[in-house]
């Protein structure tokens, strides 16, 4: 299954919520959809899920268009919204049974599939509980089960880990990996970048409705050139490196000196009092900065490089702008 988002545009009044976005992913992929609040993630997801129509552009699922054939697309995707509706008078099994019936599942087949979905998502022991009585984590499991009842090849998920406790996040991550291994293509939006890096093999980053970067994580994190689709203004000529610097004196003074350097993108103070320094450069630039600090009288008790992750990539190519 190939999912191709092609030149997607959506406006609301004078606001261009989605501005000519194009990217693709496929079976077995888990792609993180990343961007600040108001970047256009939910609008894009709603278009992909046939809940909204684009002003122009299209989304294709193995060539099936969301614009021209939304009914066919709905059988190919499982949509998981950011929250479950607050139905107070319906039990878990009734809720899932209703959606199974809407997809035409009947008789013993429906019973068998619902039992399998309940077992996979761990809902068997609470199937007779009312939705309103469930915890946030259990509601997310119900929402995932609903998206899976018709066994779609694609899952589109809007903030599935929002509000979950650490255990629930780990369990969700495990379920997503299993679904990916089964060949499902998964797109999920999230603000928890560390979670995405541990879960996803690809990412799509947008800001102010524009695509900044898209592709497999190993390419995005180590490639020195701008990924396909990245805007021309984003500087990606050199690799971004993270250097952890241990200070022998007040870290704020050293931080200020580092931020004066044109190759230093950001300097953060971690919980141990070390400086996490994002640098546009290579080993030679790191050495230059260390020599600069020593010549200026700063005490550097140690430093080492750290593997770059999604957080650093996100900070590198976004500006923090909102629409």
CB atoms within 10 A of CB 71: 8
Q: What is the percent of the chain where pLDDT is above 70?
A: 91
Helices (H), the chain: 41-48, 70-74, 92-102, 107-121, 136-148, 166-181, 193-199, 217-222, 251-259, 283-295, 310-317
**CA-to-CA distance for 83 and 85, rounded, in angstroms?**
7
- Strand pairing category for 185-189 and 30-34: parallel
Report the first-to-last Cα separation within the chain, whole angstroms: 33
Say what the alpha-carbon torsion angle 248, 250, 254, 259 is, to the nearest 10 degrees. 150
Helices (H), 149-216: 166-181, 193-199
pLDDT higher at 77 or 235 = 77
Domain ranges of the chain: 2-222, 240-307
- Strand pairing category for 15-26 and 154-158: unpaired
Q: Which CATH number fits domain 240-307: 3.90.120.10, 3.40.30.10, 1.10.274.30, 3.30.70.100?
A: 3.30.70.100
The pLDDT tens digits of the residues spanning 125-143 come to: 999 999 999 988 899 999 9
Tokens of 202: 């690809």
Q: How high is the pLDDT of residue 190?
A: 83
**CA-to-CA distance for 188 and 186, rounded, in angstroms?**
6
Homologous superfamily assigned to 2-222? P-loop containing nucleotide triphosphate hydrolases (3.40.50.300)
Cβ 131 vs Cβ 139: under 8 Å? yes
Same fold flag, 2-222 and 240-307: no
The pLDDT tens digits of the residues spanning 219-263 come to: 776 553 443 444 333 344 456 788 999 988 889 999 999 999 999
CB atoms within 10 A of CB 304: 10
Split at pLDDT 50, 70, 90, the class of 163 is: confident
For the chain, give the number of residues.
323
DSSP class of residue 25?
E
The pLDDT tens digits of the residues spanning 259-284 come to: 999 999 889 888 778 998 988 878 88
- Three-state SS at 23: strand
Q: Is the pLDDT of residue 218 over 80?
A: no
Q: How high is the pLDDT of residue 170?
A: 87
């Amino acid at each position: 299954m190939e999912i191709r988002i092609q030149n997607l545009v959506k406006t609301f009044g004078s606001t261009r919520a989605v501005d000519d976005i194009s990217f693709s992913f496929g079976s077995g992929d888990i792609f993180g959809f990343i961007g600040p609040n108001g970047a256009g993630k939910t609008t894009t997801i709603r278009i992909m899920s046939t809940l909204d129509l684009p002003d122009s552009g299209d989304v294709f699922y193995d060539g099936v268009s969301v614009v021209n054939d939304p009914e066919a697309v709905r059988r190919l995707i499982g949509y998981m919204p950011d929250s479950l509706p607050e139905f107070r008078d319906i039990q878990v099994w009734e809720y899932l049974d209703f959606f199974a019936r809407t997809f035409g599942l009947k008789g013993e087949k429906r019973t068998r599939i619902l039992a399998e979905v309940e077992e996979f998502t761990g809902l068997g022991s609470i199937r007779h509980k009312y939705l309103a009585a469930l915890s946030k984590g259990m509601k997310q499991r119900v929402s995932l089960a609903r998206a899976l009842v018709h066994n779609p090849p694609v899952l589109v998920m809007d903030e599935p880990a929002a509000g979950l406790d650490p255990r629930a996040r780990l369990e969700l991550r495990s379920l997503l990996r299993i679904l990916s291994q089964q060949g499902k293509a998964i797109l999920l939006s999230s603000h928890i970048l560390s979670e995405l890096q541990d879960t996803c093999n690809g990412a799509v980053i947008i800001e102010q409705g524009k695509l900044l970067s898209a592709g497999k994580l190993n390419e995005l994190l180590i490639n020195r050139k701008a990924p396909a689709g990245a805007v021309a203004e984003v500087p990606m000529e050199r690799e971004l490196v993270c250097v952890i610097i241990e200070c022998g004196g007040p870290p704020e003074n050293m931080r200020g000196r580092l931020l004066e350097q044109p190759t230093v993108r950001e300097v953060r103070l971690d919980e141990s009092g070390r400086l996490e320094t994002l640098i546009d450069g290579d080993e030679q630039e790191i050495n230059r900065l260390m020599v600069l600090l020593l010549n200026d009288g700063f005490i550097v008790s140690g430093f080492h490089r750290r593997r770059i992750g999604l957080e650093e990539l996100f900070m590198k190519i976004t500006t923090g702008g909102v629409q």
